[in-house]
Amino acid sequence: MISNPSSKYRPFPPVALPNRQWPNRVLTRAPIWCSVDLRDGNQALAVPMNVSQKLELFDALVRCGFKEIEVGFPSASNTEFEFNRRLIEENRIPDDVTVQVLVQAREDLIERTVESLVGAKRAIIHLYNSTSPAQRRYVFGMEKSDIVKVATRGTQWVKERVSRLAGTDVVFQYSPESFSATEVEFALEVCEAVMDVWQPTTERKMILNLPDTVEVAMPNVYADQIEWFCTHLKNRDRAIISLHTHNDRGTGIAATELGLLAGAERVEGTLFGNGERTGNLDIVTVALNLHMHGIAPGLDFSDLNALIETYERCTGMIVPPRQPYAGELVFTAFSGSHQDAIKKGLASWKTGGVWDVPYLTIDPADIGRHYREVIRVNSQSGKGGVAYLLESEFGIELPKEMQREFGPLANDEVDRLGREVNARELRDIFWKEYIERTQPFALQHFHADGTQGQMRCRATMEKNGERLDLVGEGNGPIAAFVHALQSAGAPKFEVAYYKEHALSSGTEASAIAYIQIKLDEGRARWGAGVDTNIELASIKAVLSALNRAMSKS
Q: Which residues bind ligand KIV (CB under 6 A)?
A: 40, 102, 128, 175, 177, 209, 211, 213, 244, 246
Beta carbon nearer to ligand KIV, 32 or 488: 32
Binding mask 30-59 for Zn ion (x = CB under 5 A): ----------x-------------------
CB of 233 to ligand KIV, least distance (A): 18
Beta carbon nearer to ligand KIV, 101 or 482: 101
Look at phi and psi of residue 54 and say left if phi exceeds 0, alpha if psi is from -120 to 50, else beta: alpha
Beta carbon nearer to ligand KIV, 101 or 304: 101
- Our measurement of the distance from residue 290's CA atom to the centroid of its chain's CA atoms, rounded to an integer in Å, reads 15
* Identity of the amino acid at 273: G
CB of 415 to ligand KIV, least distance (A): 47
CB of 332 to ligand KIV, least distance (A): 34
* Binding to Zn ion, residues 85-114 (CB under 5 A): none
Radius of gyration for the alpha carbons in the chain, expressed in angstroms and rounded: 34
- CA-CA distance, 257 to 380, in Å (whole number)? 34
- CA-CA distance, 42 to 169, in Å (whole number)? 26
Beta carbon nearer to ligand KIV, 209 or 251: 209
* Binding to Zn ion, residues 367-386 (CB under 5 A): none
Beta carbon nearer to ligand KIV, 155 or 516: 155
CA distances from 258 to 26, 262, 412, 538 (A): 10, 6, 46, 63
CB of 183 to ligand KIV, least distance (A): 16
Q: What is the DSSP letter of 117?
A: T
- CA-CA distance, 406 to 238, in Å (whole number)? 68
Burial of residue 430, with CB atoms counted within 10 A of its CB: 0-12 exposed, 13-18 middle, 19 or more buried: buried
CB of 401 to Zn ion, least distance (A): 59
CB of 118 to ligand KIV, least distance (A): 23
Q: Which of 185, 157, 72, 172 is nearest to 122 (CA)?
A: 172
Beta carbon nearer to ligand KIV, 76 or 165: 76
177 binds, among Zn ion, ligand KIV, none (CB under 5 to 8 A by kind): ligand KIV
* Binding to Zn ion, residues 328-357 (CB under 5 A): none
175 binds, among ligand KIV, Zn ion, none (CB under 5 to 8 A by kind): ligand KIV
128 binds, among ligand KIV, Zn ion, none (CB under 5 to 8 A by kind): ligand KIV
- Sheet harboring 466-474: ordered strands across? 441-451, 454-463, 466-474
- CA-CA distance, 488 to 474, in Å (whole number)? 16
CB of 272 to ligand KIV, least distance (A): 17
Beta carbon nearer to ligand KIV, 134 or 329: 134
Q: Which of 152, 71, 59, 62 is nearest to 117 (CA)?
A: 71
Give contact residues for Zn ion (rule: CB under 5 A).
Answer: 40
